[in-house]
Structure 1
Amino acid sequence: MTTNKLRVGVIGCGAIAQRRHLPEYLARHDVEIVAVCDFSEERANQVKEQFGAQYAITSTEQLLAFDEIDAVSVCTPNQFHAAVSIQAMKAGKHVLCEKPMATTIEEAREMVKAAEENGVYLMVGHNQRLMPVHQKAKEMLKLGKLGKVLTFATTFGHSGPENWSVDGAKSWFFNKDQAFVGAMGDLGVHKADLIAWLIDDPIAEVSALVGTLHKEIPIDDNAIFLLKTSGGSIGTLTASWTYYPNEVNSTILYCERGTMKIGADPVYGIVVEYADGVKEHIEIGKIQTNSEGGQTNSGVIDHFVEGILSGEGHEINGLEGLRALEVILAGVEAAKSGQIRKVSH
């Protein structure tokens, strides 16, 4: 880079770009938004004006041809994550790709390979582990006072993309070809990343029940995974698009010497109840939600920008994204077969 600012482009101008990526880029003094790209010229122009980008274009190739762009956010439908990210990395751009990073293991591996071969950074937008409550919870778990996590329940649910996407009920989230899976790819993959990171124990086995229970859509609106970690802990992962009206984003850890509840209390971010009767109530930040009053900065853009400018890279790299995707794809297979699937990391 020839300037002390990171110069970025954003590919895909939907809700995640408008509500997370672009506002968070704009809030930083060391970032310059060079170009935004969307197949809808009208939307690209609106976003350009709103966030002060220099250019609004409709061609990914045209955006990637800008020599002055150092890094890109890939905010396209899931189907295009891998192809666009690889194209960007081959053009020498650092990439922040939304989750799930790809629709197949092969695609994800190609993304990791492209980053290595082109000497650029690849980060995946798993924001859960960047939330203050989860950072604090991990710090507390490391102290060892609770002992080993024996069982867990992690849940992420809301009323569905029709209430979040800029396209409403016509959103690509409901297009099976573009989304590939529903609630488990939208929300479940976040929790697959979170739980393994939080308890520092990779997921080894998955069984699953996946269904379309209420919405008239061709993909799942609910998924419940039963997970077993390499260290022997077992628990549930629930992803839902039918939590009306309130969003739930919580994790409960049942440990040898007590229970930790994260995001489950209306006042305190973390509540710990020890087996000896002692209780801790920790008020720290807010769980990020799509509704008013939630965490306003996801931390994703900060992590992406600072990892590039410092030269230190990213904790949530392509390999981490691949591990979370493996859990989701194992769940897809488990649901189809009715059998437990092993996760090969």
Structure 2
Amino acid sequence: MSKIKVAIIGCGSIAIHRHVPEYAANPNVELVAFCDLNKEVAQNMANQYGVSNVFSSHNELLMNVEVDAVSVCTQNVDHAQVSIDAANAGCHVLCEKPMATSIEDAEKMIEASKANQVKLMIGHNQRLMPPHVKAKEILASGKIGKPLTFKTTFGHGGADSWSIQGQDTWFLKKDKAFVGAMGDLGVHKIDLIRWLFDEEVVEVAAFVETLHKDSDVDDNATTLLRMKNGALGTMAASWTYYKGEDNTTTIYGENGVLEIHDDPHVQVIVKLIDGSIERYSVGAIATNEAGGQVASGVIDEFVSSIIEDREPSISGEEGKKSLRVVLAALKSAESKTFVTVE
């Protein structure tokens, strides 16, 4: 089979550290074009990977280069339109999260992918990380019994410490990002909990605030979540964990507790009420810290879904469900009320 011709639209840190290296490592892929609003950034990536097609407009790219699939790694407010344009050009689409800034735009993305018979996948990489895969297996086995409560957190020093633009990053600007830590990190953990429990979030209460960054989007979000099966839990997303990243989850069941750690040696621990303890070393959680760039699995899953002509495991519909919870949390924070997730 001929290689899948892939273009990268948006050449910031997530493209530099995740998408592009993972495409380059996949034997079924040929990188054919780079695009960024800052053409120099795109040119630097093209030079590094020996690619001749460089653009500052995604529409020009789609009109001038033969492309089978794209990664949409743009600022959040452009995710939907770029994805729709790519789908209408007949390209499979892998879009970073949050997939859109409204449910209406998310639905337009899904409709465009269906109308053009192309794949749409959202980059919720937490589902594919080995500790989370193992945790889901343990939950499904019934080992800890019915899950009753949980806590999950994802935090680091902030998008300004991760972005190639530093303090001037679009992540800190509402007109480009739409939402801050809640959309950057919180949506990951919401998606993870939905997937681990195989349940939807039905009610949310949230604080979504700017505590420390010079930004007009939130740098911290703390939410209370009620799952459809009645389980209760908290989700914290933060850009002010300045001492280091925290990407951990704990689930308390009727027969024990399941702990997921971002530890390089032991990532999953099960402690049962009979006193027994099980420890699993299954592979690290990918982090944004130096030395933490293990493969996310997202690119390989996207490529496999194209080759096998099947729905990606993290579909547009799944991305929309997680986005819906984020939007409910924003509504809760604004109204200072509990909000039912539609």
Q: What's the TM-score once normalised by structure 2's chain length?
A: 0.98
Q: Which residue of 1 aligns with 2:231?
A: 233
Q: Identity percentage over the alignment? A: 52
Instruction: Confirm whether residue 210 of structure 1 aligns to residue 226 of structure 2.
Output: no
SS at match of 1:332: helix
AA of the residue aligned to 1:301 = I
Write the mapping of 1:195-344 to structure 2, written as runs, cut at 5 A. Answer: 195-263=193-261, 267-294=265-292, 296-344=294-342
Out of 146, 157, 160, the residue aligned to residue 159 of structure 1 is 157
Write the mapping of 1:127-166 to structure 2, written as runs, cut at 5 A. Answer: 127-166=125-164
**Displacement of 1:54 after TM fit?**
3.1
SS at match of 2:202: strand
Measured in 2, the distance between the counterparts of 1:12 and 1:293 equals: 23
CA-to-aligned-CA distance 1:230-261 (integer Å, 9 cap, x gap): 11000001000000121000000000100000
AA of the residue aligned to 1:220 = D
* Structure 2 unpaired stretches of 5+: none
Q: What's the TM-score once normalised by structure 1's chain length?
A: 0.97
Out of 48, 59, 62, the residue aligned to residue 50 of structure 1 is 48
Measured in 2, the distance between the counterparts of 1:41 and 1:106 equals: 30
Measured in 1, the distance between the counterparts of 2:228 and 2:314 equals: 20
AA of the residue aligned to 1:270 = V
SS at match of 1:65: helix
AA of the residue aligned to 2:210 = T
Go from structure 1 to structure 2 and tell me whether the alpha carbon gap of 1:43 and 1:264 turns closer, same or farther (over 3 Å shift). Answer: closer
AA of the residue aligned to 2:190 = A
8 A contact 1:265–1:271 mirrored in 2? no
SS at match of 2:186: helix
* Structure 1 unpaired stretches of 5+: none
AA of the residue aligned to 2:305 = G
CA-to-aligned-CA distance 1:104-126 (integer Å, 9 cap, x gap): 11100111111111111100000
8 A contact 2:4–2:69 mirrored in 1? yes
**Displacement of 1:310 after TM fit?**
1.0
Please identify runs of 4+ aligned residues in structure 1 that moved more than 3 A. Answer: 264-267
CA-to-aligned-CA distance 1:257-309 (integer Å, 9 cap, x gap): 00000016563100110011000011111111011343510101001001101
AA of the residue aligned to 1:337 = S
Measured in 2, the distance between the counterparts of 1:300 and 1:97 equals: 11
Measured in 2, the distance between the counterparts of 1:295 and 1:270 equals: 20
8 A contact 2:23–2:31 mirrored in 1? yes
Go from structure 1 to structure 2 and tell me whether the alpha carbon gap of 1:14 and 1:272 turns closer, same or farther (over 3 Å shift). Answer: same
AA of the residue aligned to 1:228 = R
Instruction: Confirm whether residue 18 of structure 1 aligns to residue 16 of structure 2.
Output: yes
Measured in 2, the distance between the counterparts of 1:298 and 1:67 equals: 27
8 A contact 1:70–1:94 mirrored in 2? yes
Measured in 2, the distance between the counterparts of 1:286 and 1:49 equals: 31
Instruction: Work out the number of aligned pairs and report it.
Output: 342
8 A contact 2:17–2:293 mirrored in 1? no
Measured in 2, the distance between the counterparts of 1:274 and 1:178 equals: 46
